[in-house]
Amino acid sequence: MTAQNIIHDQLFLSQKSTSANRADLKVAEDLRDTLLANRDKAVGLAANMIGKNKRIIAFYVGLLPLVMLNPQITKKSGEYLTEEGCLSLSGERKTKRYRTITVTYQDMNLNTKTQEFTDFIAEVIQHEVDHCEGILI
């Protein structure tokens, strides 16, 4: 379990990530540790930001980091415009988000879960799922 350096290479970050499985749990742990190591500057991370283009994201629910493998947003509602920053980019950029989303994902035990998120956590998840698609704000 080791915190990794943050990638800023936009060409690499523009590639779509591939599905994560049991073999990628080490990447998931590293991502969680990298999020903890950057707790003063990051609210969420995607695995390609540490150089592994697997569909894994990590973010905070309160003080606890939550890791999702293969997150899929299956429902979204309440469109709004906001501005976001990104640890891999400089400055803030305008983007469109949804207030309420439903996400299906696998946890670190590879159990599939479906959960609804709202407001700020929902915004962070949408940002990190975009990273998995190779989309930068």
User: What is the contact surface with Zn ion in residues (CB under 5 A)?
Assistant: 86
Q: Report the residue number, 6 or 108, with the smaller CB distance to Zn ion.
A: 6
Q: Which is nearer to Zn ion, 92 or 116 (CB)?
A: 92
Q: How far apart, in whole angstroms, are the C-alpha atoms of residue 96 and residue 52? A: 26
Report the candidate in 9, 67, 69 with the shortest Cα–Cα distance to residue 34. Answer: 67
Closest-by-Cβ residue to Zn ion is: 86
End-to-end CA distance of the chain: 29
- In the bound state with Zn ion, the residue whose beta carbon lies nearer, of 22 and 120, is 120
SS3 110: coil
Check if 128 is active-site. yes
Amino acid making up residue 116: E
H or E element in which residue 76 lies = strand 64-85
Q: In the complex, what is the shortest distance from the CB of residue 98 to Zn ion, in angstroms, rounded to a whole number?
A: 17
Closest separation in Å from C-beta 112 to Zn ion: 25
**Minimal distance, residue 118 CB to Zn ion, in Å:** 20
**What residues are labeled active site?**
128
